[in-house]
Amino acid sequence: MKQDLLGLKGMSADNIKNILDTAKTMKLILAQPNKKTPHLQGRTVVNLFYENSTRTRMSFELAAKYMSANAANITASGSSVQKGETLIDTAKTLNAMGTDILVMRHSMSGAPNVIAPLVSASVINAGDGMNEHPTQALLDMLTMYEHLGSFESFNGLKVAIIGDAYHSRVVRSNIYGLNTMGADVHVAGPATLMPQQIEELGVTVTSDVDSAIKDADVVMGLRIQLERQKKGLFPSVREYHRFFGINEDRLALAKKGALLMHPGPVNRGVELSSSVIDGEQSVIDEQVTSGVAIRMAVMYLLSRGGLN
């Protein structure tokens, strides 16, 4: 039976560990001058993106190509979606072309869950509305794992996630994954950008960014999603940076050597100051490399029925 990756909600710790360990092996391949492997030889991967993307789309495409798959991309703006074709008909059309893995990004929460039962291809959620972005959280955890050195170190790890949690699919997938791994997740930001009942997901919530960051092992900024926002959720980007932005003074409240993370793209000078983005504690570029490795691992495991 085919497998899909729709979210991290409900994924077991053993499954997460298996993906992270597989991705660590993939990183060894990425470090070679010759990155070609036969893992997906003959398979076809299609990236169907209804929203803009640099990191996710390109890393899925490169991951597929590194593993010798046939890789193709389609965006809503350049497709028959513009002529009124529905998401379901578009997905079924791509499936009928022999797609083995369909990577989907869509603005509607739950869109991949609708498509997965309708196609024979394995569906990977590359971000659905404000719901989940599972491969992002996996790459974030891979980056942490490589710095921590063991899965045991996730136990009690203080992770402070700062910013626009309301619109963020990244925060939800990270909460599900990190909680499963035993981390202590704190979420901070303006009250107007906090989802209702987010505490019920098992996190500590505050509008006091300093208290969230204090003694944290990992500090993760979230992008202010201006494209999804109604007006008036915060006064101005300048005010936002003053009260909620992560700068050197705020980062100094975290543990010495704490990791600074951000899923990207960053609004420089808003969520993070340039000095911390380009500073010694930043692992933002490592996250990008981890993204290729995680997508290789996920597609490899899916193709063998070994994801869960």
Q: Which tokens is 86 given?
A: 């529905």
Q: Which amino acid is at 146?
A: E
* Closest CB to ligand CP among residues 53, 99: 53
Contacting ligand CP within 97-116 (CB under 6 A): none
Query: Quick check: 53 binds ligand CP (CB under 6 A)?
Result: yes
Rule CB under 6 A: choose which of 7, 134, 245, 263 binds ligand CP: 263
Query: Quick check: 136 binds ligand CP (CB under 6 A)?
Result: yes
Q: Please provide residue 195's backbone torsions phi and psi, each rounded to the nearest 5 degrees.
A: -65, 145
Cα–Cα distance for residue pair 183/206, rounded to 1 Å: 17
Radius of gyration of the chain (CA): 19
First CA to last CA distance, the chain: 12
Q: Which tokens is 238 given?
A: 């300048």
Rule CB under 6 A: choose which of 2, 17, 24, 55 binds ligand CP: 55
Contacting ligand CP within 147-186 (CB under 6 A): none
Least Cβ distance, residue 59 to ligand CP (angstroms): 8
Tell me which stretch binds ligand CP (CB under 6 A): 114-122, 199-207, 253-261, 263-271.
Answer: 263-271
Query: Quick check: 56 binds ligand CP (CB under 6 A)?
Result: yes
* Closest CB to ligand CP among residues 54, 80: 54
Instruction: Confirm if 91 and 80 have CB atoms less than 8 A apart.
Output: no
Site track for ligand CP across 221-260, x = CB under 6 A: ----------------------------------------
Query: Quick check: 264 binds ligand CP (CB under 6 A)?
Result: yes
H helix intervals, the chain: 13-30, 55-66, 87-96, 111-115, 134-148, 169-180, 209-213, 237-244, 248-251, 274-277, 284-303
* Closest CB to ligand CP among residues 56, 180: 56
Q: Which tokens is 140 given?
A: 């974030």
Tell me which stretch binds ligand CP (CB under 6 A): 35-43, 151-159, 176-184, 262-270.
Answer: 262-270
Cα–Cα distance for residue pair 21/130, rounded to 1 Å: 28
Applying CB under 6 A, which residues contact ligand CP?
53-56, 127, 136, 263-265
